[in-house]
Amino acid sequence: MADDLQGGLIGCGYFARNHLNGWREVEGAGIVSLCDQDQEALGQAASDFGIPEQYTDPQAMLESEDLDFVDVVTQAPSHRFLVELVAASGAHVICQKPFAPTLDDARSMVVACNRAGVKLMVHENFRWQRPMRELYEVVSSGAIGEPFFARVEFRSAWDVYANQPYLATDERFIVYDLGIHLLDLARFFLGEVEQLYARSQRVNPDIRAEDVATIVMDVAGGKTCVVEASYASKLEHEVFPQTLIKIEGERGAAVLGRDYALSVTNEAGTETRAVPPHTFDWSESPGQAIQDGVVSIQRHWVECLRTDAEPETSGSDNLRTLELVFGTYRSAEERSVYRTERSLGSW
């Protein structure tokens, strides 16, 4: 439609296929041009998704196209350059997670977008999966009373290195790549973190960095949250990419269990129902929950642009999730408690 928001997408690699499939589900916006410095990746995505406008240079795309927004789907080291380039062009910008390799880079992008008067959303999609939204509804309805404890668990032995070989060779792995989603979920369900203590391990000898992490967090209001991430867990049930969550409150508990079973226990007893992710004709097992999260966050973005609202996972919101990632590394390395800037009164 003529009044659809016009988007460009930079980075046509592995995960961009989910974005491009997702954009086709979203009313009111479409991707009209693609950019990748790798001609082969660019050509493949352009032909698979029927998008004729192709660029190997982001600046050329921004100068030639009249874009309302740009979806940046590259790896983190390129984010600051690309996000600031897009902001300078006057287009709104979505940036994949991890937002940045350093907090300084992340803050710089937030400032650049604020100065340019454009919206910035980090594509932090786990909280947008349908099972997470259903769990959130239960907790915020008061059905389990005020939460005091949560466990957010992702334990798997899935071969993630097959599609993302860089995960085996990067100097940081599970906290930076996956734990970041779990830390964001912890914030989503319980609130802001005051301090944390973390342990990390490298179990798989064939990779460079940590593939297991355990984080215990003090959350504002006297709550406790345990976050567990592992790609070294050879368990009876391989549940990749399911995140299992238990939240206990003063009246009962809400548990998102295996195969998207949501149980709510309180003085009325226990009720269990299935809350599977939304699926599309392009959804692929077992990644449906991830793909569901992609479509939902894209719809949220369009809604924010249409109504001039702040995205839930805006750049400035994501600084808090990112701080927990770096705080986890520091705590694990120094075997010390990391106190967040919030607890120290810096924000």
Ligand X SMILES: NC(=O)c1ccc[n+]([C@@H]2O[C@H](COP(=O)([O-])OP(=O)(O)OC[C@H]3O[C@@H](n4cnc5c(N)ncnc54)[C@H](O)[C@@H]3O)[C@@H](O)[C@H]2O)c1
- Which residues are at the interface with ligand X (CB under 6 A)? 10-16, 35-38, 41, 58, 73-76, 78, 82, 96-97, 123, 125, 164, 177, 290
- Closest contact distance (angstroms) between CB of 187 and ligand X is 16
Nearer to ligand X, 15 or 23 (CB): 15
Residue 183, φ and ψ in degrees, nearest 5: -65, -35
- Closest contact distance (angstroms) between CB of 286 and ligand X is 13
Contact 152/182 with Cβ under 8 angstroms?
yes
- Closest contact distance (angstroms) between CB of 90 and ligand X is 19
- Closest contact distance (angstroms) between CB of 272 and ligand X is 27
Nearer to ligand X, 265 or 296 (CB): 296
- Closest contact distance (angstroms) between CB of 290 and ligand X is 5
- 254 token code pair: 């809400």
Nearer to ligand X, 208 or 342 (CB): 208
Nearer to ligand X, 82 or 135 (CB): 82
Nearer to ligand X, 7 or 58 (CB): 58
Nearer to ligand X, 31 or 144 (CB): 31
Q: Which long-range contacts (CB under 8 A, 24 or more apart) does 106-115 make?
A: 106/315, 106/318, 106/319, 106/322, 107/319, 108/80, 108/84, 109/79, 109/80, 109/83, 109/84, 109/315, 110/315, 110/316, 110/319, 112/83, 112/84, 112/87, 112/88, 113/83, 113/87, 113/315, 115/87
Q: DSSP states of 26-55 as a string? A: -TTEEEEEEE-SSHHHHHHHHHHHT--EEE
Nearer to ligand X, 78 or 108 (CB): 78
Contact 196/326 with Cβ under 8 angstroms?
no
**From start to end of 84-243, where are the E strands?**
92-96, 120-123, 147-155, 193-201, 212-219, 223-230
**From start to end of 124-163, where are the E strands?**
147-155
Nearer to ligand X, 314 or 340 (CB): 314
- Closest contact distance (angstroms) between CB of 38 and ligand X is 4
Residue 203, φ and ψ in degrees, nearest 5: -95, -45
- Closest contact distance (angstroms) between CB of 168 and ligand X is 12
- Closest contact distance (angstroms) between CB of 56 and ligand X is 7
Q: Which residue is nearest to ligand X (CB)?
A: 13
What is the sign, positive or negative, of the torsion defined by CA atoms of 316, 318, 322, 328?
A: positive
Q: Are strands 261-266 and 269-274 parallel, antiparallel or unpaired?
A: antiparallel
